[in-house]
Amino acid sequence: MGAKGGRGRAAAGGGAAGSEFFSRMLAFVERAGNTLPHPATIFLVLALAVVAASAIASWAGISAVHPGTGKTITVVNLLTVEGLHQILNKTVSNFTSFAPLGTVLVALLGIGVAEGSGLLGTLLRLLVLSAPRRLLTFVVVFAGVLSNAASEVGYVLLIPLAGVLFLAAGRHPIAGMAAAFAGVSGGYSANLVLGTIDPLLAGLTQEAAHIVDPSYSVSPAANYYFLAVSTFLVAIAATWVTEKVVVPRLGPYTGEEKADGELRPLEPSERKGLRNAAAVVVLFSAVVLWGVLPDEGFLRDLKTGGILHSPLLTAIVPFIFLGGALAGVAYGVGAGTMKSDADVMKAMSRSMETLGSYMVLVFFAAQFVAWFNWSHLGLIGAVKGAELLKATGLGGIPLMLGFVVLSAGVNLLMGSASAKWAVMAPVFVPMLMLLGYTPELTQAAYRVGDSVTNVISPTMSYFALILATVQRYDRKAGLGTLIATMLPYTLVLFIAWSLLLVAWIALGLPVGPGAGLRLPV
């Protein structure tokens, strides 16, 4: 398999000096990523740093004038007896009231039923198996983008499946895996449906916006318009990279690995389960539309009768839970994978088991965010930063492109999207709010940068798993192999997605329902 599975290294071009420089660069990125402590430890250190910084800034008399209220903002010293009491009294409530915690837990319960019943895996298999040969690459990428709404199912199922599918079609299996990886991870934020990451990031954005405006609300659907269009952009761009760059570079597959039975057709029981799930989804959608479309619909805003502030948008997490759970149960009953209520509860429990490390991370992140807000360091830093940015004369597009670049760079050393945003949001959301840009636009720019470098980030949690799967077809493949294969996706997606963001801002389009680009004066 090894050498015979060749990746067309000669076709990649470039001299020895260039290869040596690229290898050194990749080695540096790997070493830098490996030296970082656990994300929870990072938040603990940051929280303690906030306490120390609040004391130093308070002693130095640092302050700022709020441009909206005209009031002078001073630093609150947390390194005092009063500060200690507040920290101790609020430790539990900081954790339990942390906005992203409940939304992620509730949404994942429903998605856990859909995944545990086998519905999500069967849907992905059906989508890939039904694809015409000439649309194979596009369908693989598109399925990858859609799969990221369902937690890790794209990584553990679709990427290996794409390798088997390409091999069965007489194409290089690593090309298929690269295309799927680009969709699942490179297009992480794009989707036609909302997933667990949407309420999670929206909660963090809302917490950060409260530094400037305590009444500001950010919907989980805040970026839906932009990300729905991005779904097709990512699918087209990644398909082009696969066909024009990756496939020629890899050349024909000459390894010994053969397609096996993993790509099996759907069983009659699975088809029955899909029919059940489809019927339930149609019925559930009809009920939702019944509550939204009529002027007196029961899901419209009670005060205004509108849709913008209706439960469908302001409380969309229960809809994600109900839709995933009902469809999962319907599939499980039809396919025979769920025979009692105990099976449903087990599926929910398994989805919760995967959140152990997330709960630890959230505990320390919640303390950091709360202490940061109490100290007023974030608000003062936002005012000072906004004044500095305003003095540069940069407009919205250069600012947002710079923020995309920053997010993409940070992603190379810190893989968790929520962990990065928990650190960056309290600084950049209020800073850009004070310059007149909505938190929703800032979040959209962050999600572009956070997605495009996922596929070349060694700190991304599934990177090792993808590498191990690639080594099935090429035993000599290493970290540099995978990064070199995926780097063209990063470059093209960065350019294409940034151009879409530029066009979006230039046209003044809302990034989501009720989410414009500029704040009212």
Cα separation, 216 vs 209, in Å, equals: 6
Pair type for strands 72-74 and 63-65:
antiparallel
User: Does residue 517 contact residue 441 with C-beta atoms inside 8 Å?
Assistant: yes
pLDDT for res 1: 35
Cα separation, 161 vs 158, in Å, equals: 5
Cα separation, 176 vs 161, in Å, equals: 9
> In 26-100, where do the E strands start and end?
63-65, 72-74
pLDDT for res 258: 65
Asked if the model's pLDDT at residue 467 lies above 80, the reply is no
Cα separation, 115 vs 109, in Å, equals: 10
User: Does residue 184 contact residue 151 with C-beta atoms inside 8 Å?
Assistant: no
pLDDT for res 150: 58
CA nearest to 241, candidates 169, 160, 182: 182
pLDDT for res 125: 74
Other beta carbons less than 10 A from residue 261's beta carbon: 6
pLDDT for res 8: 44
pLDDT for res 459: 57
- The larger pLDDT score, comparing residue 62 to residue 16, is at 62
Say if residue 402 is exposed, middle or buried (CB neighbours under 10 Å; 0-12, 13-18, 19+): middle
pLDDT for res 309: 65
Cα separation, 455 vs 488, in Å, equals: 10
The region of weakest confidence among 335-339, 480-484, 496-500 is 480-484
Beta-bridge partner residues of 512: 515
Calculate the alpha carbon distances from 70 to 65, 66, 126 in Å. 6, 5, 59
pLDDT for res 9: 40
Cα separation, 162 vs 175, in Å, equals: 9
pLDDT for res 153: 62
Give pLDDT tens digits for 391-411. Answer: 666 767 888 888 888 888 877
User: Does residue 368 contact residue 147 with C-beta atoms inside 8 Å?
Assistant: no
* 354 band by pLDDT with thresholds 50, 70 and 90: low
Q: What value does the mean pLDDT take over residues 358-362?
A: 76
The region of weakest confidence among 193-202, 440-449, 508-517 is 193-202
pLDDT for res 362: 78
Q: What value does the mean pLDDT take over residues 60-88?
A: 85
Asked if the model's pLDDT at residue 449 lies above 80, the reply is yes
Give pLDDT tens digits for 136-193. Answer: 899 889 988 887 765 566 776 678 778 877 877 778 889 999 999 999 888 788 888 7
Give pLDDT tens digits for 198-247. Answer: 888 888 899 889 888 888 888 888 899 999 999 999 999 999 999 988 88
Kindly report whether the global pTM for this prediction surpasses the value 0.85: no
Q: Is 437 strand, coil or helix?
A: strand
Cα separation, 379 vs 78, in Å, equals: 15
- The larger pLDDT score, comparing residue 518 to residue 476, is at 518
Average pLDDT value over all residues in the chain: 80
- The larger pLDDT score, comparing residue 481 to residue 298, is at 298
pLDDT for res 7: 42
Give pLDDT tens digits for 281-323. Answer: 999 999 989 988 888 888 887 777 777 667 776 667 788 789 8
pLDDT for res 170: 75
- The larger pLDDT score, comparing residue 433 to residue 126, is at 433
pLDDT for res 255: 72
pLDDT for res 5: 45
pLDDT for res 261: 46
CA quadruple 193, 151, 420, 76: dihedral sign: positive
Highest mean pLDDT among 129-133, 273-277, 415-419: 273-277
Cα separation, 498 vs 504, in Å, equals: 10
Give pLDDT tens digits for 9-41. Answer: 434 444 455 546 644 664 564 455 456 576 678
pLDDT for res 414: 61
